[in-house]
Amino acid sequence: MHDGIFYTPYNEGMIRMITAGDRKVMHRVNRWTPPLWVRRWMVAASRAGDGWGWALVGVPVLLFGGERRLAALEAGFLAVGVGLLLFNALKRVAGRTRPCATETNCWATLLPPDRFSFPSGHTITAFAVATPFSLFYPDAAPLLVFGALSVAASRILLGLHFLSDVIAGVAIGCGLGFAAVSLVNGGL
């Protein structure tokens, strides 16, 4: 086991390559001091991604979402619920340390919610909400995707996650969102 990720003869080279790329991105990000507006945006996005921001998205859906509002909310809750279980299990199995544990961010001081990095739970949740709501309300998709991407970017820029943690979070969150919509709509 190296950096918390299980190595086998089959995946050692690939994991080493991903880890090297992640560390290279982390070092570049940690040396950049963004403008104040970017720093404020990233901190706000990360804090909104703690869950309360996405819960607030459900309020207008509930109030103004039309006849499909309950199906949209059901899909969102299902995707987020499975996402919470999945990322907690994956974090324990992977055991990957966070970038901020090895090198502090030069401008951000947010503390991580736990000690494990892979995958990004904030990103999973963001896309597990944004995906089903975007499918039910396509006109809102640009705003929802912008919010989810802001949360994802904030996790990297604040030194809380590696790039691959966030990419995995996007893939898992979108997959769960699509699956939840399909299940709620009678598919699967």
- Taking the model in full, what pTM does it have? 0.84
User: Nearest-CA neighbor of 152 among 178, 131, 183, 136?
Assistant: 131
Looking at the domain assignment, is residue 118 inside a domain?
yes
Looking at the domain assignment, is residue 20 inside a domain?
yes
Looking at the domain assignment, is residue 48 inside a domain?
yes
Domain that holds residue 141: 12-184
CATH number of residue 93's parent domain? 1.20.144.10
Q: Average pLDDT in the 60-81 region? A: 89
Looking at the domain assignment, is residue 65 inside a domain?
yes
* Predicted pLDDT of residue 20: 72
Confidence of residue 47 (pLDDT cuts 50, 70, 90): confident
**Cα 145 from Cα 124, distance rounded (Å):** 13
